[in-house]
């Protein structure tokens, strides 16, 4: 608790700096990552983050110390080389995209390891700082480094915000952009540079291996909550910031604990919550609405069976007869009957289940939609009468009143369906 207060009251200016740094950095990467996620190029970020390692080592070898300018410069060069190589391989060989990305990623990283061991053998005491790039350590970021990385992050955020229109064109409809005269290749180049930049600054805190999470996960998680690009970007940034600060806090409290893994774990937890509980797209929500829909269709079917029974001259059906109609759905049928009884659409008169007035209206509506659709398929699509039932069985639950009016109009208010059965109207007597 003391640690908690100490950390979050920002008494220590270096902690305030680091939190500020990781906030800007998280927003920057989430921002770029969301675009590349929407572009279906999520793993390109992974490839880039593995391939900046040789550049970092080369920068270190040239500068002889952990100079942020040399390291960023080297990382940009090797990141660009990897990006260029990926797109060159894609257009010049028949390899699939994931083989290309996996190949580029592993070879660049392997080469980085070679350089890393060579540096290790030179016995340079600053070497320890270099290892941090692989697993990341936000606490280890020095204040002067922070200016460079923070500045770069701001550049990324600003250029993405200013060129929002261009980048959305790139992500959603590149061909359209080209057609109305935007230089799409140039925009892609700018975007790739921004992506490399965000990787370069991100790996300080989170490390080469796990950087992909900071790019992919916020966007993927935020995508579950919204369909609007602006909301998506804000949410993704928020997720990245929350998990960034959580990760930093944990690595502050537990000594020697790297930041990256905790950032990733808290990000993944946020993502998991989104996958499960987000409205509309979440697994739970989809499951519930599917259940609701299935129950509704089953109720429709029960009403329809009772309606058909009245057409045949019966007053109603007994519970057992109804259950016999749906031999494998006993539970659903019982549920539907009791629901409909509660809603006064059915009456239970001495064991005989009958349609009430409101039940009749509803049943007529369903049967009418079913038979209207059958007529439409038969007349306009020229489908044989014995082939139209299955499609109507699905659409009777979906056709809206507007569509119904349209169908009626087109078919000139028919009386009979292709099977020569009566199409029931609201004021018909049965």
Partner 1 sequence: MITFDQNAFLIISTASLIAISCGLLGVFMMLRKMSMTGDAISHAVLPGIVIGYFISGSQRGVEVIVGAGLLGILATLIIDFLRKKAKVQLDASIGITFTLLFAIGIILINLLAYKVDLDQECVLYGEIAYLPIDLWITDSGFSMGPRIIWLALLNLLLVGSFIFLLFKELKLTSFDEGFGMVMGIPAGAINLALMSMVSYTTVSSFDAVGAILVVALLVVPPATAFLWTKDIKSLIKLTIGIGIGISVLGYYLAFWADSSIAGMMVTVGGAVFLISAVLTSKKFKFRLGTQSNQEAFNS
Return residues touching partner 1 (CB under 8 A). 37, 40-43, 45-46, 85, 89, 92-96, 98-103, 105-118, 121, 131, 134-135, 209-210, 212-213, 215-217, 219-220, 224, 254, 256-258, 260-262, 264-265, 268, 271, 275, 281, 283
**CA–CA distance from 315 to each of 244, 325, 353, 422 (Å)?**
68, 17, 8, 18
Q: In this complex, which beta carbon is closest to partner 1, that of residue 274 or of residue 336?
A: 274
Output the smallest distance, CB 212 to partner 1, in A.
5
Output the smallest distance, CB 148 to partner 1, in A.
25
Output the smallest distance, CB 69 to partner 1, in A.
26
DSSP track, 80-147: HHHHHHHHHHHHHS---HHHHHHHHHHHHHHHHHHHHHHHHHHT-TTHHHHHHHHH--GGG--HHHHH
Long-range contacts of 4-11 (CB under 8 A, 24+ apart): 4/249, 7/249, 7/252, 7/253, 8/249
Rg for the chain, CA atoms, rounded: 32
Q: In this complex, which beta carbon is closest to partner 1, that of residue 215 or of residue 245?
A: 215
Q: Report how far residue 35's alpha carbon sits from residue 194's, in angstroms, rounded to the nearest whole number.
A: 11
* Nearest alpha-carbon partner for 271 in 18, 8, 28, 30: 30
Output the smallest distance, CB 400 to partner 1, in A.
26
Q: Report how far residue 239's alpha carbon sits from residue 233's, in angstroms, rounded to the nearest whole number.
A: 10
Q: In this complex, which beta carbon is closest to partner 1, that of residue 70 or of residue 109?
A: 109
Q: In this complex, which beta carbon is closest to partner 1, that of residue 11 or of residue 96?
A: 96
Q: In this complex, which beta carbon is closest to partner 1, that of residue 147 or of residue 277?
A: 277
Q: In this complex, which beta carbon is closest to partner 1, that of residue 256 or of residue 415?
A: 256
Output the smallest distance, CB 147 to partner 1, in A.
28
Q: In this complex, which beta carbon is closest to partner 1, that of residue 19 or of residue 104?
A: 104
**CA–CA distance from 46 to each of 10, 73, 220, 263 (Å)?**
33, 19, 15, 16
Q: In this complex, which beta carbon is closest to partner 1, that of residue 207 or of residue 316?
A: 207
Q: In this complex, which beta carbon is closest to partner 1, that of residue 105 or of residue 340?
A: 105
Dig out the tokens for 416 from the structure. Answer: 């009979």
CB-side neighbour CA atoms (13 Å) of 195: 32
Q: In this complex, which beta carbon is closest to partner 1, that of residue 191 or of residue 224?
A: 224
Dig out the tokens for 111 from the structure. Answer: 């080469």
Name 77's Cβ contacts closer than 8 Å, sequence gap at least 6: 55, 58
Query: Coil, strand, or helix at residue 317?
Result: strand
Output the smallest distance, CB 218 to partner 1, in A.
10
CB atoms closer than 10 angstroms to residue 15: 18
Angle between helices 13-38 and 211-222 (to 10 degrees): 60
Output the smallest distance, CB 274 to partner 1, in A.
9
Output the smallest distance, CB 23 to partner 1, in A.
20
Query: Coil, strand, or helix at residue 277?
Result: helix
Output the smallest distance, CB 50 to partner 1, in A.
9
Which ranges constitute the DSSP H helices of 2-67?
2-8, 13-38, 42-63
DSSP 229: H
Output the smallest distance, CB 133 to partner 1, in A.
12
């Amino acid at each position: 608790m003391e640690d908690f207060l100490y950390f979050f009251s920002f008494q220590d200016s270096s902690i305030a700096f680091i939190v500020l740094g990781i906030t800007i950095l998280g927003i920057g990467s989430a921002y770029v990552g969301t675009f590349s996620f929407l572009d279906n190029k999520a793993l390109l970020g992974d490839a880039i983050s593995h391939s900046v390692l040789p550049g970092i080592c080369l920068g270190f070898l040239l500068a002889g110390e952990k100079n942020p300018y040399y390291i960023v410069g080297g990382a940009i060069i090797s990141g660009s080389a990897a990006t260029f190589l990926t797109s060159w391989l894609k257009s010049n060989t028949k390899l699939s995209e994931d083989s290309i990305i996996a190949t580029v990623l592993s070879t660049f990283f392997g080469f980085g390891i070679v350089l890393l061991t060579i540096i290790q053998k030179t016995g340079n005491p600053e070497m320890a700082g270099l290892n941090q790039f692989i697993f990341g350590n936000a606490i280890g970021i020095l204040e002067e480094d922070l200016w460079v990385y923070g500045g770069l992050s701001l550049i990324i955020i600003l250029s993405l915000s200013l060129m929002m229109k261009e980048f959305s064109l790139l992500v959603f409809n590149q061909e359209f952009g080209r057609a109305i005269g935007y230089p799409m290749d140039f925009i892609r180049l700018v975007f790739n540079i921004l992506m490399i930049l965000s990787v370069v600054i991100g790996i300080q805190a989170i490390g080469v291996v796990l950087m992909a999470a900071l790019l992919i996960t916020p966007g993927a998680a935020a995508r579950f909550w919204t369909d609007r690009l602006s909301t998506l970007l804000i949410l993704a940034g928020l997720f990245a910031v929350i998990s960034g600060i959580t990760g930093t806090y944990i690595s502050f409290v537990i000594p020697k604990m790297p930041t990256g893994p905790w950032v990733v774990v808290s990000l993944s937890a946020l993502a998991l919550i989104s996958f499960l509980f987000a409205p509309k797209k979440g697994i739970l929500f989809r499951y519930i609405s599917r259940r609701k829909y299935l129950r509704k269709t089953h109720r429709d079917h029960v009403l329809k069976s009772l309606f058909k029974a009245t057409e045949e001259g019966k007053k109603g059906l007994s519970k057992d007869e109804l259950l016999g109609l749906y031999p494998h759905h006993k539970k659903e049928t019982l549920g539907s009957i009791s629901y409909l009884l509660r809603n006064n659409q059915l009456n239970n008169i001495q064991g005989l289940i009958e349609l009430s007035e409101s039940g009749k209206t509803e049943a007529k509506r369903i049967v009418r939609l079913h038979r209207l659709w059958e007529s439409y398929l038969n007349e306009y699509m020229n489908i044989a009468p014995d082939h139209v039932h299955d499609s109507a069985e699905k659409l009777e639950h979906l056709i809206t009143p507007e569509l119904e009016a349209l169908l009626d109009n087109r078919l000139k208010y028919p009386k009979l369906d292709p099977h020569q059965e009566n199409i029931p109207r609201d004021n018909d007597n049965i």
